[in-house]
Amino acid sequence: MPNIRQVAATSLEKFSKNGGEKVSNYVNAAGKAVIAPLIIMNNPFTHEDEESKQWAAIKQPVEAVITIAMQIATLSLLYKGIDKLIKNGKVNFKFVEEATKDISKIPEKIMKACNGDKDKALSTYKEQYNEIFKDRVGAVVSAATYLPVLAISNKVYPKIAQKLVNKNEDKSTK
């Protein structure tokens, strides 16, 4: 049976290979959905009544779900579009073009990882630039979806909160 550290390290490595902006979005949503409500409900420094705490705590997971749904949709469409542009030669990077002409421009670390195979090293180098570009554009798009996410969650969460708070009140009066 593998030890917990090994499983955690392997899981983190696999998770981080999926891309920076995606990972950031998932971690942020998980924190909003799980940690934020716990802190809100169990904050010893606030003097809010229980219902106010519940309302504030319920907003966090609702917003997390809306955020992830919007960002998954927008980022997947964006990444497909960028991949299509790259495939059609509409997006090129100066460093990759220079490396195509002069293979010595490819970092030594990539050449070693590709066992000196120049074609594989160039392909890896190009892939890395493409992923970095997609990640940076994804960060901008994620930031741009922030206001629509807030607007939608401000419309949706009061309805959900009202149902959940009333449900809890009904249970407590029985």
Task: For residue 156, tell me if it sits in a domain.
Answer: yes
pLDDT tens profile 46-83:
888 888 888 888 888 888 888 888 888 888 888 899 99
Give the pLDDT confidence score for residue 51 in this predicted structure: 80
Task: For residue 15, tell me if it sits in a domain.
Answer: no
> Average model confidence (pLDDT) for the chain?
82
Query: What is this structure's pTM?
Result: 0.62
Q: Find the domain containing 34 and state its range.
A: 24-41+52-61+82-173
**Which residues have CB under 8 Å from 61's CB, separation 6+?**
32, 33, 34, 37
Task: For residue 13, tell me if it sits in a domain.
Answer: no
Amino acid sitting at position 111: M
On whether the CB atoms of residues 63 and 149 are closer than 8 A, the answer is yes
pLDDT tens profile 115-168:
988 889 888 888 888 888 888 888 888 888 888 888 888 888 888 877 877 765
**How far apart are the C-alpha atoms of 59 and 36, rounded to whole Å?**
10
Give the count of domains, the chain: 1
For 122, the token pair is: 């160039």
